[in-house]
Amino acid sequence: TSIETDLRVEKDFRQRLQQTLTSEKEKVSSLQFDIHELNLIKQEYDSYKKQMTKQQNDLQKKFQEQEETIRELALKLEVSIKREDEFREKDGLRSSTWMKDEDVKECCQCKKDFSPLRRKHHCRNCGQIFCETCASTKLPLPSSNKPVRVCDITSIETDLRVEKDFRQRLQQTLTSEKEKVSSLQFDIHELNLIKQEYDSYKKQMTKQQSDLQKKFQEQEETIRELALKLEVSIKREDEFREKDGLRSSTWMKDEDVKECCQCKKDFSPLRRKHHCRNCGQIFCETCASTKLPLPSSNKPVRVCDMCRNHLLAQCAVNSP
């Protein structure tokens, strides 16, 4: 009949709607997972970027400190070299023998004659004889455990050795600091490359997340529309079921039946025809007086005595 055809159409439409709805929900679930993964990646990147920025700032600060140290060392080295040159110009290094007192009449530096007031003093380093004024310094020597008298020239030589040692240490420190600066420059360069790479990746990731979010919203809207259509379809199907339920047997036509299918009494204006909504056969009022809920209807409908007994027995068997 027309109602049955419409009902089948509605059922097919509802089935397609349910399949589409399930598919859309799976897509939404997949999109939600992708967005979750992107958020995790973004959090990881933000944490790494923060750490990388701090590390870069620390390296930059250390690099500036190293450069300042190099400038200071270079200045000290320059001063040391100048002092060494001055010492060499003033009086070069030399070795001499230990002079005898009786062989020397005047100071080997100022050339003033010795006298009871201007006494002789040996320089414990070069062995020459000087006056008090020209040998007033006392310095520790490798040959003694305590400071001894030396001439001004030896004092200058000692200062020269100290300056040379200091210059050598400065040069070593300067070389080491330059190596550190070079290493820091390389690290900063590497960090900048990583930062550029991650900035590009973040831009790409943000766009991808935005696209997914947009698609996710579209899918949600589609689901809402499908759910609404499905709800309308179910309501229409229920209306069809209420109007005329599904049957497992042929629905008898009124004009083909002259008597009750159970008591066999003829129908008349006083004994009217009633269809059983379960089997589809026609009965009189007495033989189809029961109303029971069926799977095909949302409210109790008329059934014959045989279907009533069958349905009640089936219900009793299925009951716990």
Domain ranges of the chain: 2-86+181-243, 92-169, 254-318
Residue 269, burial from CB neighbour count under 10 angstroms (0-12, 13-18, 19+):
exposed
Distance CA 207, CA 19 (A): 31
Ranked by mean pLDDT, which of 20-24, 79-83, 227-231, 269-273 comes out on top? Answer: 269-273
CA angle 73, 78, 125 (to 5 degrees): 105
User: What is the residue-averaged pLDDT of the chain?
Assistant: 75
Helix (H) or strand (E) holding 130: strand 129-130
Instruction: State the alpha helices, DSSP H only, in the chain.
Output: 2-90, 152-243, 305-318
Structure tokens at 228: 């609404």
What phi and psi, each to the nearest 5 degrees, are found at residue 303? -135, 155
- For 31-77, the pLDDT digits (tens) are 777 777 777 777 777 787 788 778 777 777 777 777 777 777 677 76
Q: Please give the full DSSP string across 144-193, using - where no structure is assigned.
A: -SS-EEE-HHHHHHHHHHHHHHHHHHHHHHHHHHHHHHHHHHHHHHHHHH
280 contact partners, CB below 8 Å, separation of at least 6: 247, 248, 249, 250, 251, 252
Answer for the pair 233, 10: CB distance below 8 angstroms, yes or no.
Answer: yes
Fold of 92-169: Herpes Virus-1 (3.30.40)
The amino acid that residue 204 corresponds to is: Q
Between residues 294 and 7, which one has the greater pLDDT? 294
Kindly report which listed range (122-126, 183-187, 247-251) carries the lowest average pLDDT score.
Answer: 247-251
**C-alpha dist (Å) from residue 58 to 8, 28, 170, 188:** 74, 45, 26, 10
Model pLDDT, residue 250: 62
Amino acid making up residue 232: V
Residue with tokens 């040692």: 165
The domain 254-318 having CATH identifier 3.40.50.360: the answer here is no
Q: Which residue has the higher pLDDT, 51 or 115?
A: 115
| Count of C-beta atoms within a 10 Å radius of residue 289 | 14
Q: What is the pLDDT of residue 304?
A: 93
Count of CB atoms situated within 10 Å of the CB of 58: 10
172 pLDDT tier (thresholds 50, 70, 90): confident
Collect all residues with Cβ–Cβ distance below 8 Å to 84 and sequence separation of at least 6: 160, 163, 164, 167
Q: Which of 151, 162, 174, 154 is nearest to 83 (CA)?
A: 162
Distance CA 48, CA 43 (A): 9
Is the pLDDT at 3 greater than 60? The verdict is no
> In Å, how far are 5, 7, 277, 304 from 243, measured between CA atoms?
13, 11, 10, 18
d(CA 274, CA 284): 6
pLDDT of 92 strictly over 50: no
Cα–Cα distances (Å) from 97 to 122, 132, 134, 144, 152, in that order, read 11, 20, 18, 18, 17
Better-predicted residue by pLDDT, 155 or 186: 186
At 181-196, the pLDDT tens digits run 666 667 667 767 777 7
- Please give the average per-residue pLDDT across 144-167, as a whole number: 70
Q: Does 92-169 match 254-318 in CATH topology?
A: yes
